[in-house]
Amino acid sequence: MSAPAVETLERRLAAARRHLHAHPELSLEEYETTATIRGWLGEADIRIVEYPLKTGVIAEVGGLLGGPVVALRADIDALPVQEKTGLPFASTVPGRMHACGHDFHTAALLGAALLLKERERELAGTVRLIFQPAEEKALGAGQVIASGALRGVQAIFGLHNKPDLPVGTVGIKAGPLMAAADGFAVEVEGRGSHAAVPEAGLDPIVGAAHIVTALQTIVSRNVSPLDSVVLSVTRFQGGASWNVIPDKASFDGTLRTFDEKVRTKVRERFEQVVHGVAAAYGTQASVRWIAGPPAVRNDAGWAETAVRTAEGLGLNVVSPLPSPAGEDFAFYRQQVPGLFVFLGTSGPQEWHHPAFDVDERALPIGAKFLAALAVDAIGKLKAQEATEAGAGTGRSTGPAREAKAIAGTVDPNG
């Protein structure tokens, strides 16, 4: 693709991203966002596929010649954060902000759709575009799956912007990339009394405080130092007065793990510690788990493919550290093989920060990478099918070359 064309794509995608950025909507409330995306796809003559979703859009490019189906997914929702970027296109809605860059993901997927549409006749399969609602509540992926939008999909791909990676860099890693994100709510019940007569009661605050302290030993004493676990207590509450021992105390928090066995073990140990320590103080505890998405685990085979795709586009490929944040992309991966990657956006702040931003030069890079990866994936799936069928005719031009023809070469500085 020539330099002016790159500039045009970047400008168009930046305009799209800025529009979304100025009009953020929370999870499951993305009605305007949905209408806007539908409008953009409609203008480009990209076919929208109707699935029973209140918000979010499913569309398709290709498939004119049959062939495999692959999916590209972007999330579209914003966060309850008050923006403090000072950008000219900052959020126009008080207390709402695209502070995780899902506006960026949506614009990048739009760009991929436009690039694929330009070469639709040559596409040897179907690319299903999933503009997913409610990632921040970890509800959207489940809704998309329940709507049937994964039907026929043989591989799924998605990306997240990564502020600490420079523009022109893509982080690709086989295995776990993002954590299982579970929540917990613990209530400790004792017996209230006059603060000056503690022997008449069973103090739930002392019991709960010891539980919180004892829980810290799970990570340090029950988990291998080679496994990564986060256990954070983020809310602690009990009592309403300085001279009354209350009858209840409670706390909430989150557990982040990358391995299903470790997740199960930590949860078991958590229950033992809570109930055991509560009993030691004569109190009784209850634990409620709020199960979040499992860890995002990447297929090694698709990671290899993506590395070749990225290198073919002249991108700098790095092996990223996993993130302890959660991602409901994990639910898709329970259904079909696939890959989630980090795309460098040279951001000034981390995700969910009020001054979060992206470098928009990464927009056309994200678009081209997604488009090229979809083409390469279709090529690989077709080659696999040919091998399995024993046809032995696999002398195509090769997926990497087809992808490059569609996406051109990315100039990370352009």
Site residues (CB under 5 A) for Ni ion? 100
Half-sphere exposure of 391 (CA within 13 A, CB side): 12
**Interatomic CA distance for residues 308 and 385, integer angstroms:** 20
To the nearest whole angstrom, how small is the minimum distance from the Cβ of residue 156 to Ni ion? Answer: 17
Helix ranges (H only) for 23-125 are 31-43, 102-118
Nearest residue (CB) to Ni ion, 79 versus 277: 79
To the nearest whole angstrom, how small is the minimum distance from the Cβ of residue 100 to Ni ion? Answer: 3
Q: How many CB atoms lie within 10 A of CB 342?
A: 24
Q: Which residue is nearest to Ni ion (CB)?
A: 100
β-sheet bridge partners, residue 78: 26
Cβ atoms of 406 and 154 closer than 8 Å: no
Angle at 333 between CA 331 and CA 335, to 5 degrees: 80
Residue among 153, 105, 154, 112 nearest 132 (CA): 105
Nearest residue (CB) to Ni ion, 158 versus 338: 158
To the nearest whole angstrom, how small is the minimum distance from the Cβ of residue 46 to Ni ion? Answer: 24
Distances (CA, A) of 34 to 49, 103, 249, 303: 13, 12, 43, 30
Nearest residue (CB) to Ni ion, 100 versus 186: 100
Nearest residue (CB) to Ni ion, 79 versus 274: 79
Two tokens at 55?
């918000």
To the nearest whole angstrom, how small is the minimum distance from the Cβ of residue 136 to Ni ion? Answer: 7
Nearest residue (CB) to Ni ion, 60 versus 75: 75
Nearest residue (CB) to Ni ion, 182 versus 187: 182
Residue among 149, 351, 181, 186 nearest 263 (CA): 181
To the nearest whole angstrom, how small is the minimum distance from the Cβ of residue 327 to Ni ion? Answer: 7
To the nearest whole angstrom, how small is the minimum distance from the Cβ of residue 160 to Ni ion? Answer: 6
